[in-house]
Structure 1
Amino acid sequence: MMWHPPSLSAWDFRLIRNYREIFRMSEPRLYVIGLDGVPFTVLRDFLDQGIMPRLRELAGRSVFRSIRSVQPPLSAPAWASFLTGRPPDEHSVMSFTERDPRAMRWFTPDARQLTAPTLQEMASDMGRRVFSMNFPVTYPPKPVNGVSICGFLGKDLESGVYPEREVPLLKQRGYRIDSDVALARHDLPAFINDLKTVLTRRLETAMYYHDREPWDLFMVHIMETDRLHHFTYEAFQKGDEAIRDVYHQLYGMIDPFIGALTDQAPPGSRFLLLSDHGFTVLKREIYLNHWLWEQGFLRFNHPRPAHLGHIHPASVAYSLYPGRLYIHLKGREASGSVPPDKYEQTRETLRRALTGLRDPVDGAPVVAEVLNGEDVYAPPGLRAWHDPLTAAYPDLLVIAREGYDLKGMLWKGKPADKTVYNGMHSYDNAFWIAPQTEKAAAVNDIREAGVFTAHLLTEMF
């Protein structure tokens, strides 16, 4: 008599699925927590002072060191380098603002510009369950094997969440993509309260998702630290007691979240925490396009220039944030007039002029160095083959001395200013916490941190 397998009822299938979920609950997980703009030195001091006891426990059994950002040290290209393990010239996100020279327009790059796969996509391709919350350059969200909630620069939850069915739940929980930065310009206490509200909702929602399913890759990015630093870092560094108390409160809100994750993590789970750049006190904003205009390198065809189309054809160069200079090159820019055979000569003229740029208020030197774009962005073996007519990166990158922020607005009407922003990003002094291994200890910058994370992902799963 032939044996036939017993038929399985819907109840049987539910039991099998539940057993599978119970088994997955005990599997190791990879946790990635991004604390935007948190300097290594500040975090180290907070751990020493007992402000973050749970993170101190984790850091004490891990690699804990300073790392560098990307150049220029902006969140979009830095986090893109971490998520892809590639430098900006390879993943194609170099700043918050890019330009289309043929149309002479600027635009904000997003996930559609990324030309390399991300950690979330890698894990999904491996069949692993992924939860990603609030990381920059994840808007619009790409399909993943799990949930992806976009970070700042995302327009709204409706278009920034995958799958869309998660949107009502996020709204019900009061989740917001970002704080109301405009508040800081006129009401700092209200802004700080808003930061705490947004952070509370983010952490509560992250824990809800954490407890809902045993994710293989669980990633959460905290933006509120960066937001706080931009408007209060000078007072913090000067020892203002009220502001230092705010820092202790905000960082103290993050610590129990990290502790809860470490308490609930299955044996063998790994934790990676990092920031994308450091921070320093902002002395003054310098408006490079105004300086170019004063020096006769930039002209406009409109009394109130507002976009790249208002650049006069006779212009020599223009700037995008931060410190990225583009020669108005004929054959590349739609209105360009600088002949290609004058490119190197023009570049040297600009370099010499820029090295003499001084703070218009106190006469201090502003520029630390002026680099060729290919020396920053192009692979070493291809730098000698730099072709300005096809290169997407800037012709020159101006590196400012500490405390100077080289702004890229087309017209400001003044050469420099000190605004409500008093903290700015720094290239060095980001932090890295990772499992105690030689490879983790050898990580020197955020791109290498991404490479390490990708390798760890493949080793674990």
Structure 2
Amino acid sequence: MNMFLLGIDGLPRWMWQQFANSGVMPHSQQLLKTGTLVPMKSALPEVSSAAWASIVTGENSGGHNVFGFTDLMDGSYTLGFTSSRTFRSKPFWAREGAGPSLILNVPQTYPAQPMPGMLVSGFVALDLKRAVHPPEELAWLESIGYAVDADMSLVEKGKQKFVDELHRVMAARCQALHHHWNREPWQNIMFVFTGTDRLNHYLWEDYEDTTSPFHQTFLDYYHEVDHQIGRILERLDDDVTLAAVSDHGFARQRMSVNLNCLLAENGFLRLKESQRPSYIDMLPETKAFAMDPGRIYLHRQGRYPGGTVAADEAESLMQQLTTFFQNASVNGQPIASEVIRGKDVYSGPFAHRAPDLIVMAAKDIALSGRVNLSELVETTRINGKHTYEESSFFVRGERLGKIPADMKVENVLDVVMPRQSQLVSRAA
């Protein structure tokens, strides 16, 4: 085997180090002594679909074409989910010379595409049947109760039932990993824990509150993740490149603000009356609209069927919107820490599809792009949010590339597979 790439969705670098030092994750304590752990920056905005796409392709969103979980189809107001078919850059396992690979539970890989080896898609996956390549592996996965995602509705039945579900799903995924690991001499394996992200979203308040009855529940889940990391480490030879990554950091969420509602209240967005509002209901007077989590698009002539923002208006409108978001507050709290121009951060053949602005959320604030304008402050059980800073990047091995001082998700392959990254760069 050449490489094992381990994903731990949503695990902040500082938390991993803290849990390793405190004994919550003892196998990680030993692991981190054998290589290098650094903070890494997520995708912009810090959404899992774009971040995992960057990790496995080595490109930013302008290169791989994934900017979020949803996007509008070109030249229309039709909203669609992004998927493996959205990729315009090959993931490392699909590239010439990669060899047979085992790829399990990597987000943004649904539906499963033909590749040399085996792949089981991670979220968002609608149907296990279409998440498995080759399809003949489906029956065994079904026999062990393999799930493409946890049953999120169990949150409504209580935190303990929800965490029990996260444990059940993780156990089946780990069973699948070790079962299939034994069957082939894989050149590469990538396996992602995604229950950590789910846990962080709904129990972050319990992690911060050491008196909470679910504080230990939170720690116990990470202890079990660490136990599974230990099982993986036992099987890896010393000459295998081992990298471990998370797609974003995490922090407390106390309020979720609907940016489209804010834009509408201040005259930038106009919708016609509708029982179920969507982007197709935007009136020509609309100047700008939002998509999750903080993507702002000008309603440009030529880009959208009813767009009215002319090219010579765009600069002044972006300046106006930047000032607006920088000064905006809800319930006395600033909503933005920074407003970034898309053209300054995206590069590649699909950079023209990027948002015009990216609003980075302020402390304690999450940003939404829902088109339902009934709530400025959204009701949600989520109490933990993604952060751009403090993703985790760990690596040990030989023949590695240099870790950049400003490590980002799109740099992962340059470090762990520098020769392949160089060959792809030359071919491009």
TM bin (shorter chain): over 0.9
Q: Shift of the alpha carbon at 1:248?
A: 2.4
Equivalent of residue 317 in structure 1, options 281, 288, 293: 288
Task: Give 1:366's aligned residue.
Answer: 335
Structure-to-structure mapping, 1:62-211, within 5 angstroms = 62-122=35-95, 125-126=96-97, 128-211=99-182
* Distance in 2, Cα, partners of 1:182 & 1:376: 36
Matching of residue 393 in structure 1 with residue 354 in structure 2: yes
How far apart, in 1, do the equivalents of 2:311 and 2:25 lie? 56
Task: Measure how far apart 1:31 and its partner are.
Answer: 0.9
Residue in 2 that maps onto 1:424? 385
- Compared with structure 1, are the counterparts of its residues 409 and 127 closer, same or farther at alpha carbon in structure 2 (3 Å cutoff)? closer
User: For residues 127 and 427 of structure 1, do their structure 2 counterparts lie closer, same or farther at Cα, with a shift above 3 Å needed?
Assistant: closer
Distance 1:355 1:127, change over 3 A: closer
- 1:75, CA displacement in angstroms? 0.8
Query: What are the superposed Cα offsets for residues 382-433 of structure 1, whole Å, 9 maximum, x if unpaired?
Result: 9xxx9xxx92111111122122111000023121135210000001111111
Q: Give the 3 Å change call, closer, same or farther, for CA 156–378 of structure 1 in structure 2.
A: same
Amino acid aligned to 1:90: G
Paired positions, count: 420
Matching residue within 388, 400, 411 for 2:372: 411
User: Does the aligned pair in 2 maintain the 1:63–1:440 contact within 8 Å?
Assistant: no
Deviation at 1:215, TM superposition (A): 1.4
Partner residue, 2:189: 218
Partners of 2:328 and 2:202 in 1: how far apart?
Answer: 26
Match among 374, 396, 410 for residue 447 of structure 1: 410
Please say which structure displays the higher CA radius of gyration.
1
Match of 1:234, SS state, is: helix
Unaligned runs of 5+ residues in structure 2 are 423-428
* Aligned counterpart in structure 1 of residue 7 of structure 2, from 31, 34, 39: 34
Letter of the structure 1 residue corresponding to residue 251 of structure 2: T
Task: Determine the C-alpha separation between the residues in 2 that align with 1:244 and 1:166.
Answer: 38
Deviation of 1:285 after TM superposition, in Å, equals 0.5
- Give the structure 1 partner of residue 298 of structure 2: 327
> What secondary structure, in the 3-state scheme, does the structure 1 residue paired with 2:55 have?
helix
> Cα offset for 1:321?
0.8
Distance 2:329 2:158 in 1: 33
More deviation, 402-411/186-195: 186-195
Most deviating of 47-56 and 275-284: 47-56
Do the aligned residues in 1 keep the contact of 2:242 with 2:397 (CA within 8 Å)? no
2:85 is paired with a residue whose SS is: helix
1:240 Cα deviation after fit: 3.7
The whole-number CA distance in structure 1 between the counterparts of 2:229 and 2:161 is 26
Deviation at 1:222, TM superposition (A): 0.8
Q: Measure the CA separation in 1 of the matches of 2:17 and 2:294.
A: 31
Contact 2:255 2:365 in 1 (8 A): yes
**Which residue of 2 is the match for residue 5 of structure 1?**
none
> Bigger shift: 43-52 or 440-449?
440-449
Asked whether the 8 Å contact 1:76–1:95 carries over to 2, the reply is yes
* 8 Å contact from structure 1 (residues 38, 430) kept in 2: yes
TM-score in terms of structure 2 length: 0.93
- Secondary structure of 1:343's partner? helix
Letter in 2 for 1:173: I
Runs of 4+ in 1 over 3 A off after TM superposition: 436-443, 456-459
**Partner residue, 2:199:** 228
Q: Tell me if the contact between 1:81 and 1:450 (Cα under 8 Å) persists in the aligned partners.
A: no
Matched residue SS, 1:391: helix
Shift in Å, 1:272 = 0.9
2:425 matched residue in structure 1: none
The 3 A distance-change label for structure 1 pair 436 and 211 is closer
Cα deviation, residue 101, structure 1: 4.8
Structure 2 contact 401–418 (Cα < 8 Å) conserved: no
* Whole-angstrom distance in 1 between the partners of 2:270 and 2:157: 34
Q: Equivalent pairs: percent with the same residue?
A: 26
Name the CA distance, whole Å, in 1 between partners of 2:202 and 2:122. Answer: 20
- Greater Cα offset, 213-222 or 334-343: 334-343
- Partner of 2:347 in structure 1? 378
**How far is 1:140 from its partner?**
1.5
| Aligned mates of 1:126, 1:119 — CA distance in 2 | 10
Of the three residues 270, 283, 297, the one matched with 2:254 is 283
- Residue deviations 1:149-204, cap 9 Å, x none? 00011111111110000000100111111101122134222111111111111111
- 1:4 equivalent in structure 2: none
Structure 2: how far apart are the matches of 1:204 and 1:36? Answer: 19
**DSSP 3-state at the match of 1:283:** strand
CA drift at 1:303? 3.3
**Conserved 8 A contact 1:283-1:418:** no
CA contact (8 A) 2:292 2:367 kept: yes
Give 1:364's aligned amino acid: Q
Q: Is the 8 A contact 1:73 1:426 kept in 2?
A: yes
Q: Matched residue of 1:134: which SS?
A: strand
| 8 Å CA contact retained: 2:278, 2:372 | no
> Structure 1 residues 238 and 218, CA, compared in 2 at 3 Å: closer, same or farther?
same
Deviations 1:224-261 (A, max 9, x none): 00000000112211224532312222122222322222
